[in-house]
Structure 1
């Protein structure tokens, strides 16, 4: 990794080829086999939520670089579709929180992503707001240098291609969250173009890219288009019969909201061979609980903190 070695340079739990081999032996209605290698044989993956968004503007290459420098195992980003059918990295349905769209286009409220072309979005300043709002208090706390703060002005929203190329060129990993789109047509564009791009860049095999979504129909479409691409089911609530549900979906990975399952339940699910990647965990005490629960991954706005905790070890 060009950004330096991480604590977990290889994803050593259930890799996609192993997962698919296990699933191939199950009917669509059966549970995942409990003989799958248990999660937690190595420290949890440090997954930088929208990049290191506590240190840089979220969902930008600047945030990705900060996460890489911090030693994160991978970063997570969000992708949506523009008015001209291009894939842009952005979290919200509207652009006003993280871009100066209200200043540039005051008459186009509510500034929905799908109402703007790629060129229009990439002309926006998606970095200056970070200095103005200091969303995590890290500038005030002295954890972001003046040089970095100044460099964020004018930061652009990357395309998914730019984000994937950055990941590939740095021998890194990424979790791509597909945002639920307002129409079936946009959803189809999102799924098909994402799969095509991952394939074009040669990133579909192994653990270089995982695609997650709250829209599990998107995941089913991905599985049908290319079963080599890893998928992960996002959820805010517990899912009954999780093993069976994931087996039907064609994955062993679930990304639950913090608190959806207790640490004890998470540990049991991991022992059953399910990869649990918990979001969004910023409290150090909770990080330690999840490390003890041997979850597969921890998604955090503070990858630099989680890396430090893992280096310190237990106690």
Structure 2
């Protein structure tokens, strides 16, 4: 089990206050030099070491000392929100064995009860046999129990009309739209700019992120409805990051950059030097050791 030092815990709290709460001048850079280490996000939980998007993966991230986890949300045939990355069940469950005649095994074609029958852990390793695809309600309750923070991705919203409001409804029902969590513990993101805009319009107090790498000339349009631009690390350089930081986002402070998916020390150091605010990774321990993040 990994134990985070008191210094790292303090840095996490102070860094979060600057990164998420908007402390300091809105036009300033994301943080002072002594808090320049990026936040490390456990992508789909500690997904290099446990089956992605399961409760086991976020529990492991907690044991390793990581506050921030990331997940993906989709919708079942009967309208339940579940936490899974792919829009099919084949890669990360035993659906082909349990329902051999239901190809292509799309999430939206199965009920929540059917998905609850599936083993979402054995594909990763026998020690995780019996892990399940959690519902979003189950997931939010576990994140709360673990006292973690969440970067929630609405996955492929074009497949699920109205998923933005439904996601907010679940967040509200589980207590995740109270002021403390909205300000300090929750960010909603998507590859769909329209979906991010919809979330912002429905809940202007909520922090949002757009997944992608817009051209510099287009960044002001995104700044109207989002607080972060979260790009794939191969698509950015220091000049692009600096251009993002020059703009004020939807909450009146400098836009931030959280990049993905960085799993090795050399790349972590490279994006840190570019000035990113956060690193999303399957191997949070590797990235933390490289950049001193939290």
TM range (shorter): 0.7 to 0.9
Look up the match of 1:37.
28
Matched, 1:15 2:9: no
> Unaligned 5+ residue runs, structure 2?
248-253
Equivalent runs, 1:77-156 vs 2, <5 Å? 77-131=71-125, 150=127, 152-156=128-132
Q: CA RMSD in A?
A: 2.4
Task: Pick one of 227, 241, 245 that aligns with 1:252.
Answer: 227
Look up the match of 2:236.
261
Instruction: Assess if the C-alpha contact under 8 Å between 1:51 and 1:77 holds in 2.
Output: yes
The structure whose RCO (Cα within 8 Å, separation 6+) is larger is 1
Instruction: Assess if the C-alpha contact under 8 Å between 1:71 and 1:307 holds in 2.
Output: no
* Partners of 2:73 and 2:107 in 1: CA distance: 10
Cα 1:200–1:71 change in 2 (3 A) is: same
**Length-normalised TM-score, structure 1:** 0.80
Once the two structures are TM-superposed, the CA of residue 264 in structure 1 deviates from its matched residue by: 4.0
Once the two structures are TM-superposed, the CA of residue 312 in structure 1 deviates from its matched residue by: 9.4
> Unaligned 5+ residue runs, structure 1?
23-33, 132-148
* Partners of 1:157 and 1:244 in 2: CA distance: 38
Instruction: Assess if the C-alpha contact under 8 Å between 2:233 and 2:271 holds in 1.
Output: no
- Could you say what secondary structure the match of 1:75 adopts? strand
Look up the match of 2:251.
none
* Partners of 1:167 and 1:37 in 2: CA distance: 31
Once the two structures are TM-superposed, the CA of residue 105 in structure 1 deviates from its matched residue by: 0.4
**Length-normalised TM-score, structure 2:** 0.85
* Partners of 1:225 and 1:233 in 2: CA distance: 16
Task: Pick one of 142, 155, 166 that aligns with 1:179.
Answer: 155
The number of residues matched between the two structures is 274
* Partners of 2:292 and 2:220 in 1: CA distance: 36
Matched, 1:231 2:208: yes
Once the two structures are TM-superposed, the CA of residue 304 in structure 1 deviates from its matched residue by: 1.1
Deviations 1:183-203 (A, max 9, x none): 4xx220x21111112223332
Once the two structures are TM-superposed, the CA of residue 130 in structure 1 deviates from its matched residue by: 0.3
* Partners of 1:158 and 1:37 in 2: CA distance: 40
